[in-house]
Chains A and B, each alone.
Chain A
Amino acid sequence: MPGKLKARIVAGRHLPVMDRASDLTDAFVEVKFGNTTFKTDVCPKSLNPQWNSEWFKFEVDDEDLQDEPLQVTVLDHDTYSANDAIGKVYIDIDPLLCSEAASVISGWFPIYDTIHGIRGEINVLVKVELFNDLNRFRQSSCGVKFFCTTSIPRCYRAAMVHGFVEELVVNEDPEYQWIDRIRTPRASNEARQRLISLMSGELQRKIGLKVLEMGGNAVVGYLQCFDLEGESGLVVRAIGTACTLDKLSSGSAPNTNTHMPVFGEDLLSSSGPPTPFRALPTSSSSPPPFSPSKPCSRQSSSSDTDLSLTPKTVTIISKNPLVKSLCTVSDTAVFFYLQEFPFFTLTSFPPGFLVHVGGVVSARSVKLLDRIHNPDEPETRDAWWEEIRQEIKSHAKALGCHAVVGYSESTSICEEVCILSASGTAAILNPRYMLQLGLEADGRWCVLFSRFEEPSPPSCGFCHIPYDELNMPFPAQLTYCYHCRRQKVPDVLFTTIDLPPEAAVTGKGCLIQARLCRLKKKAQGEVNATAISNLLPFMEYELHTQLMNKLKLRSMNALFGLHIQISVGENMLLGLASATGVYLTALPAPGGIQIAGKTPGDLSNEQHILTIQKRINDTIAKNKELYQINPPELTEEVVGSPIPDPRQRSRLFRSHSESSDEVSELDLSHGKKDAFVLEIDDTDAVEDIHSLLTDAPTPTGFYSCNTEVMPGIYNWTSGVQMFTSVRVLRLSNANLTNQGLNKIFTDLCENLLKSFYFKLRSMIPCCLCRLNFTVAVPEEELIQVAVTAVAMTFDKDQTQEKPAEKAITKGLSVSSLDRSSPLPEGRSRSLRSNRSFAGGSVTVVKMTPLSFLPGTRIIKYLGIINMFFIRETSSLREEGGVSGFLHSFIAEVFAMVRAHVAALGGNAVVSYSMKECVFMENPNKNQAQCLINVSGDAVICVRETDQEPIPSMTNIGQTCTSGTDGAT
């Protein structure tokens, strides 16, 4: 009995009228944890009751503390009939179990009812007293910190990254149990909410156990998903990256002078980190006592795939720990070293961590769902995922890589068919970082070396190909790196990660989307699954082609944050690929797009082709201007094609001479680079080209990307607006063609973006970051797109020139840097607005899908927010139709997230995401139901300038990071 949970009910306010006669309510509260229930007194005839209850004490196992939520039910007392429930609050105790997170939960929570929505608020106080339990066989994993953030959380440093953790739990869905036929919708919804809350608690506990076994203390990039498999059950699964994190206290913040050089050395010497090396060699010689493959009692239902997470071959690293050059790591030893834990859910890494990036690897598999007979043995689902991960691993290997970063998994379910997808970016990691990942106190990855010297090789290193030039896994045009001129780089690079901080980029980036619809015949079972499997490769190919064309049209050469979603419906498949395109300075300039006709003789056709070609060329030119892509033309031509080193100089010389011969040769090379010659041979191709050109450019003053931040924008100001938008389109025309559908789908996405730009026009200049589109086919003729993103303002004057350039022109003393930087001004503006917001009685809670809030420092992580809500109505029209219903539900979800964060003492949610939004309607019955799952990290952040000695440090960090960019 290692824990005591204490709860106190203080007061309620704005309660609904439950007694029509008196227009008042006789409210009391039930507080339930596990099987224990306490009740407060009835507070008669009040809509703002004051209970001021005693402390209700629950003596429980810490295992239960992790699994169960505290359940607070507000009821209306009725002398003669049954008491009416007003609503409930579920409070996740988890943040209180970690000493570094919150110590008390106290605040106003919205009282939520699945039928009526929010009905007033209740003030609750919760505390936990944990007793130390040294039992090694324990089932709880209290104290393991969870982060949704997909980078090392700011204000921590990673002493060690242990690798991939995964787990899944299954259960029957209460909605499909026999009892559901006789219970009320409310009871059914509440059973579901409770079950999912329990399951995610259990899942988190189990993952925590694995982390403890690996010797870690935290999970970063924690991604939890639900699969609502209907009849066959409910699966909750999660993946993450196990780490050992050290808290950086603000007092010990490194100071500029001493730390800069030291940091660089830290990276090189694996000795002397605060958490020393963790006896890795021992673990290799004798397996740890609680290896996940030999689980103890209650863990039987856990899902251990044989991707054993304990680094077995780790000894190799100690034999070969000092690989000196960052660029030339191609040792096979490194490959072996990482082979055993190849997946990282992180998307952002310290500079130099990624030695090479190979490209995107993805795997999909179509499965037929069957009933999960024994929830304690979720082996089928495990096997499915294992299969996929193996495939991903082999893809990565084919690219000459030993690790997959930016890894994520997802599903799409329609009836009994399920598409499992996984994707990531194949990469070679720097082995040194596996021992010690350093992070600056201000939470930014700092390039602390040689800020005024020549840019160091690593800034282009990750672009260099990891695979063997002579034995390429796919056809690619290789050239010498435009940055270092030493290594080969591909002509384009696709990745799922954020742009590495050291990467040199020309101009700005932009959101690039490929959208695709494919009709399929309605079918059942195997036939259906086969049909889908057969369609998938074509869809992937077409999405890829679209991406490539759009990338070239914008004159860019790399994609970051690529996310391809394929969603299955009864009679169609939807594919949506989103990414942020950029021009990587190290990669060659993309060739144009050339249109070629099938029948050269046809004059009118030729004319047509010429006009299209002209339009395309014009668009490319316009885009170059729009995104400020002005690479040094001369050098581009010089190393435009793969040529051996010695000839480079002479080529350079010759191109100056401008002989007519040379020009034609250059043209040829240009043509060769141009891997994408579009042939107009049928209507399909015409459509493709048409759709290529109809993507509306972002209006002036706006930028958009789906990565954390926009490459090329550095000076964020404090304006932040997170939003969620959902649109459902009903296809009225039954006999649509693929082309027709594509157009509809494309327009849907484009119109959504246009709407965002319009709504957020008051924030100009502004950038939409982390634009996350989710598509679904909820019913036969419906297409649903849900978007969550954040709009952030930035300082317009500074977008033209990077801060570093400005700093250089203004001289380099720290103090002048401070003053010339636009950041302090922007931040002081945030100070004022924050203060005035705080004037209200409700804490302002900012939310963002990014891992940070501009102009602020995160000083404390309070715990993970993972909430699941169901809302149902049988009076749809009265609630303003489907839009009114969903609008208020989303607003309610935001409100509940904010209230929980505020109760933990926080003022912001970072890495927020809406992972599920399942909407079902039956307008004829006037009914609708919606399920929403959201997650994020609750944090306390302060304005950057509030910390005494740090601000100058921050600016320097920023300047340094961009310094390498600026110098290119």
Chain B
Amino acid sequence: MAVELDVFVGNTTIMDEEVYQLWLDGYTVNDAVKVRMEGGVMEECEASADVLLSDTMDQYRTFQMCERLLHSPAKLANQLLFQIPPNRQAILIERYYAFDDAFVREVLGKKLSKGTKKDLDDIGAKTGVTLKSCRRQFDNFKRVFKVVEELKGPLVENIRQHFLLSDKLARDYAAIVFFANNRFETGKRKLQYLTFQDFAFCAGQLINNWTVGAVDNMVEDMDVDLDKEFLQELKELKILITDKDLLDQHKSLVCTALRGKTKAFNEMEANFKNLSRGLINIAAKLTNTKDVRDFFIDLVEKFIEPCRSDRWTAADMKLYLTHYTNSAHILDTFKHQVVWDRYMGVIKSCIFKMYHD
């Protein structure tokens, strides 16, 4: 006796959110049934294992049939095959495009190429995410990347409109696209302590302040590429470390402001020149693509690590950077205030975000 064929089709497509999640997580039908049994759904409705298996298979089939539509979510709204209420459609899409932070952390900044795709099984093994789920997430990144690559206008808005995602998720995708495009290094051991959300925040800062889109909002790739002119202008900031007078002046201004306000004052004073050199050198080198890639590792090595070894608190960090930025405005001979603000604004918020254990 074998069930040869078993289907259930509702006029309104029936989808169980729990099963959907299991499907997205790459569980096989049998594993999904096990998980559901352990979840106690059987007692809920006096069901048997057979019923559960049949239901899970039905749902998996439905999801597979829907998957094609989920690849271009706008189609889901005007297709005729499945009658799905709009609120359900939104859930389906949002969940389909959701990703595991552990997984995305691994591929962040990597080229979304076939080569990376081949490494997915390693990533899967490392993060505990099933290969199937890894593939879906990777393909999602790639799909979003490809679509927005050719579009004009603000990145987050484009993603949200094309893939009908929530604002939060659209921002995360913008970060992923931005990182993939600029190939930021995120995998080094020293960067391991940073979460995806740390990077996503920084990406948001960079997109909003350092890209072409920050000044002109109708060019292609405006939010994906950094503003070349700005990067060029950043070289001018070197004066802050090359001009001995300026450097000393800057230091004394900062130290005056900080004195007595923090326990770490001595370390700050001792390290000022070193730290300032670190930040300014990062700025000056950003015209090189290679150095752009190392932006985050440089921030950690040249600034965060020294501070951490001196046991600065987060408050110390905030205080120091605020005064460091503001004091530059008082320097008479320093003429690059606009560039300085644009640079330090982002650096400040990035370091605040990244300064944790």
In contact, A730 and B55 (Cβ under 8 angstroms)? no
Contact, CB under 8 Å: B10 / A728: no
Q: Which of A585-593, A842-850, A956-964 contacts B (4 or more CB under 8 A)?
A: A842-850
CB of A226, distance to nearest CB on chain B (Å): 21
Which of the segments A21-29, A153-161, A227-235, A752-760 contacts the partner chain? A752-760
Contact A882 B61 (CB under 8 A): no
Residues of B within 8 A of A756 (CB): 8
Closest CB in chain B relative to A417 CB, distance in Å: 24
List B contacts of A660 (CB < 8 A): none
Contacts A754-B47, A757-B45, A758-B47 given; indicate if A887 touches B80 (C-beta within 8 A). Answer: no
Please indicate the chain A residues that have their CB under 8 angstroms from the CB of B47 in the complex: 754, 757-758
Q: Which of A13, A782, A842, A880 contacts B4 (CB 8 A)?
A: A782
Q: Are A846 and B11 in contact (CB under 8 A)?
A: yes
> A289 contacts the other chain (Cβ, under 8 Å)?
no
State whether the Cβ of A808 lies closer than 8 Å to any Cβ in chain B: no
Q: Say whether B86 faces chain A, with CB atoms less than 8 Å apart.
A: yes
Instruction: Name the A residues within 8 Å of B51 (CB-CB).
Output: 751, 754-755, 758
The answer, yes or no, to whether B192 is at the interface (CB within 8 Å) is: no
B317 CB contacts on chain A under 8 angstroms: none
Q: Is the CB of A730 within 8 A of B4?
A: yes
A846 nearest CB neighbor, chain B only? B11
State the Cβ distance, A749 to closest chain B Cβ, in Å: 13
Interface hits, A897-926 → B, CB 8 Å = 898-899, 919
Chain B residue numbers with a CB within 8 Å of A13 are: 78
Q: Is B83 an interface residue (CB 8 A)?
A: yes
CA distance A310 to B108 in the complex (A): 82
Question: Does B219 sit at the interface, judged by CB under 8 A?
Answer: no
Residue pair A836, B50 in contact (C-beta under 8 Å): no
Q: How far does the alpha carbon of A949 sit from the alpha carbon of B15 in the complex, in Å?
A: 39
A121 to B45, CA, bound (A): 40
Tell me, yes or no, whether B309 is within 8 Å of chain A by CB: no
- The CA of A880 and the CA of B7, in the complex, are separated in Å by 12
Task: Tell me whether B80 and A121 are in contact (CB under 8 A).
Answer: yes
Instruction: Check A890–B9 contact: CB distance below 8 A.
Output: yes
Question: Is the Cβ of B11 less than 8 Å from the Cβ of A721?
Answer: yes
Residues of B within 8 A of A839 (CB): 86
A14 touches B79 (CB 8 A): yes
Q: Is the CB of A884 within 8 A of B61?
A: yes
Kindly state whether residue B44 has any CB partner on chain A within 8 Å.
Answer: yes
Chain B residues 39-82 with CB under 8 Å of chain A are 44-48, 50-52, 54-55, 57-58, 61-62, 64-65, 75, 77-82
A212 to chain B, nearest CB (A): 35
Distance (Å) between the CB of A395 and the closest chain B CB?
38
Q: A837 at interface (Cβ–Cβ under 8 A)? A: yes
A475, chain B: closest CB distance, angstroms = 40
Question: Which applies to chain B's interface (DSSP): helix, strand, loop or mixed?
Answer: mixed
Chain B residues closer than 8 Å to A757, beta-carbon distance: 45-47
In angstroms, Cα B7 to Cα A696, docked, is 22
Q: Please tell me if the beta carbons of A755 and B8 are within 8 angstroms of each other in the complex.
A: yes
- Residue in B11, B58, B77, B85 whose CB lies within 8 Å of A836: B85
In this complex, what residue of B is CB-closest to A744?
B1
Asked if A722 and B10 make an inter-chain contact with CB atoms under 8 angstroms apart, the answer reads yes
- In the complex the two chains form, is B80's CB within 8 Å of A895's CB? yes
Q: Which of A113-143 contact B (CB under 8 A)?
A: 118, 121
Closest B residue to A764 by beta carbon equals: B45
Asked if B3 CB lies within 8 Å of chain A CBs, one says: yes
Query: Is the pair A837, B86 in contact by a Cβ cutoff of 8 Å?
Result: yes
The residue of chain A having its C-beta at the shortest distance from the C-beta of B85 within the complex is: A837
In the complex, the answer to whether B12 meets A721 with C-beta atoms within 8 Å is yes
| Residues of A with C-beta under 8 A to B52 | 758
Bound complex: CA A121 to CA B221 (Å): 34
- Are A723 and B81 in touch, CB under 8 angstroms? no
| Bound complex: CA A13 to CA B127 (Å) | 41
Q: Check A798 for interface membership: any CB of B closer than 8 A.
A: no
In the bound assembly, the distance between CA atoms of A892 and B13 in angstroms comes to 12
- Would you call B61 and A887 a contact (CB within 8 A)? yes
CB contacts (< 8 Å) of A890 on chain B: these are 7, 9
Q: A919 to B5: give the CA distance in the assembly, Å.
A: 10
CB atoms of A729 and B65 under 8 A apart:
no
| CB-CB nearest in chain A for B64 | A880
A888 at the interface (CB under 8 A from B): yes
Query: Counting CB contacts under 8 A, is A891 at the interface?
Result: yes
Is B10 a contact partner of A723 (Cβ separation < 8 A)? Answer: yes
Residues of B with C-beta under 8 A to A755? 8, 51, 54-55
| Interface check B332, CB cutoff 8 A | no
| Complex Cα spacing A722 to B9, Å | 9
Residues of B within 8 A of A898 (CB): 11, 80, 83
Q: Is B6 an interface residue (CB 8 A)?
A: yes
Decide yes or no whether A840 CB sits under 8 A from chain B.
yes
Asked whether, in the complex, the Cβ of A883 is within 8 Å of the Cβ of B1, the reply is: no
Partner of A887, one of B7, B45, B55: B7
| Residues of chain A lying within 8 A (CB to CB) of residue B239 | none
**How far does the Cβ of B1 sit from chain A's closest Cβ, in whole Å?**
6
For chain A residues 872-892, which have a beta carbon within 8 Å of chain B? Answer: 880, 882-884, 886-888, 890-892
CB neighbours (8 Å) of A699 from chain B are 45-46
Among A751, A761, A845, point to the contact of B44 (Cβ < 8 A).
A761
CB-based contact A727/B5 at 8 Å: yes
Residues 366-405 of chain A, each 1 if its beta carbon lies under 8 Å from chain B, else 0: 0000000000000000000000000000000000000000
Q: Would you list which residues of chain A between 698 and 735 have a CB under 8 Å from chain B?
A: 699, 721-733
Chain A residues positioned under 8 Å from B82 (CB to CB): 891, 895
Chain A proximity of B48: nearest CB distance (Å): 7
Q: Which of B9, B79, B80 has the most CB of A within 10 A?
A: B80
Contact partners of A899 in chain B: CB under 8 A: 80
Complexed CA–CA distance, A174 and B82 (Å): 32
Which of B50, B61, B75, B79 makes the CB contact (< 8 A) with A751?
Answer: B50
Does B45 lie within 8 Å of A894, measured CB to CB? Answer: no
The answer to whether the Cβ of B14 comes within 8 Å of any Cβ in the partner chain is yes
A723 to B11, CA, bound (A): 6
Q: How far is the CA of A839 from the CA of B2 in the complex (A)?
A: 43
A490 CB within 8 Å of chain B:
no
Interface string of A550-563 (1 = CB under 8 A from B): 00000000000000
Chain B: minimal CB distance from A744 (Å): 6
Rounded to whole Å, the gap between the CB of A732 and the closest CB of chain B is 6
Q: Which residues in A have their C-beta under 8 angstroms from that of B4?
A: 728-730, 782, 882
- Decide yes or no whether A110 CB sits under 8 A from chain B: yes
Nearest CB of chain A from residue B71's CB, rounded to whole Å:
13
Contact A729 B61 (CB under 8 A): no
Q: Is B87 an interface residue (CB 8 A)?
A: yes
Q: Do the beta carbons of B57 and A118 come within 8 Å of each other?
A: no
Instruction: Tell me if A108 is interfacial: C-beta within 8 Å of chain B.
Output: yes
Q: Give chain B nearest CB distance to A321 CB in angstroms.
A: 47
B11:A883 contact, CB within 8 angstroms? no
- Per the bound structure, the CA–CA distance linking A914 and B342 in Å amounts to 68
Bound form: Cα–Cα A108–B81 in Å: 12
> Hey, which chain B residues are within 8 Å of A325, CB to CB?
none
Of residues 927 through 944 on chain A, the ones whose CB sits less than 8 Å from some CB of chain B are none
Residue of A nearest to B47 (CB): A758
Contact between A840 and B5, CB atoms less than 8 A apart = no
Given contacts A844-B83, A898-B80, contact A888 B3 (CB under 8 A): no
Please tell me if the beta carbons of B44 and A732 are within 8 angstroms of each other in the complex. no
Q: Is the CB of A883 within 8 A of B85?
A: no
The answer on a CB contact under 8 Å between B1 and A110 is no
Closest approach, in angstroms, between the C-beta of A770 and any C-beta of chain B? 13
Chain A CB within 10 A, most for which of B7, B55, B86: B7
| Residues of chain A in range 792-842 having any CB-CB distance to chain B below 8 Å | 833, 836-837, 839-842
**Within B248-288, which residues are at the interface with A (CB < 8 Å)?**
none
Which 4 residue pairs across A and B have the least CB separation, nearest first? A728-B5, A890-B9, A725-B8, A722-B11
The 12 sampled A-B contact pairs (Cβ below 8 Å) are A699-B45, A721-B11, A723-B8, A723-B10, A726-B7, A755-B51, A840-B89, A845-B11, A883-B6, A884-B61, A884-B64, A895-B81
Interface, chain A (partner B; CB < 8 A): 13-14, 108, 110, 118, 121, 696, 699, 721-733, 744, 751, 754-761, 782, 784, 833, 836-837, 839-842, 844-847, 880, 882-884, 886-888, 890-892, 894-895, 898-899, 919
